[in-house]
Amino acid sequence: MHPHDGLALQWASTELQSDYDVVVCAIAGASGNGRGIALEFAGPALRADTGLVIQAISNDAWAIQFASEDLRRNKDIALLAPQSHGLVDRRGRVGWRS
């Protein structure tokens, strides 16, 4: 996996997609390509890792859609995604504004 392109994680083996250090590298992607969104290709256990999800959302608010269902429903996590992206309403509910 190229360290400057987090989206390369999609072509990595299941073993690498479940490796914490590899996923952290993909989420932090030096060039910004795929930063945060690389969470989509992380293994299920890592998509449920609070610290990793917070890092991904901090890099790209859209990454919240790839967090585990439990973390997407967690108000504290959801509020990390900027309201301006339409991901979180004023009551902290995750979803699109109507």
Phi, psi of 5 (to 5 degrees): -135, 100
Sign of torsion over alpha carbons 64, 95, 93, 91:
positive
Q: Domain ranges for the chain, please list them.
A: 6-68
Euclidean distance between the first and final Cα of the chain, in Å? 39
> What tens-digit pLDDT sequence spans the chain (98 residues)?
445 567 788 899 999 999 999 999 888 874 555 577 899 999 999 999 999 999 998 888 888 999 999 999 998 888 887 643 555 555 655 554 44
The model's pTM is 0.76
Joined tokens for residue 92: 């902290």
CA atoms within 13 A on the CB side of 78: 19
Q: Which residue, chain included where needed, has tokens 């890092």?
A: 55
* Residue spans of alpha helices (H) in 3-97: 14-17, 20-28, 44-47, 50-59, 69-72, 75-78
What count of residues does the chain have? 98
CA–CA gap between residue 57 and residue 8 (Å, rounded): 18
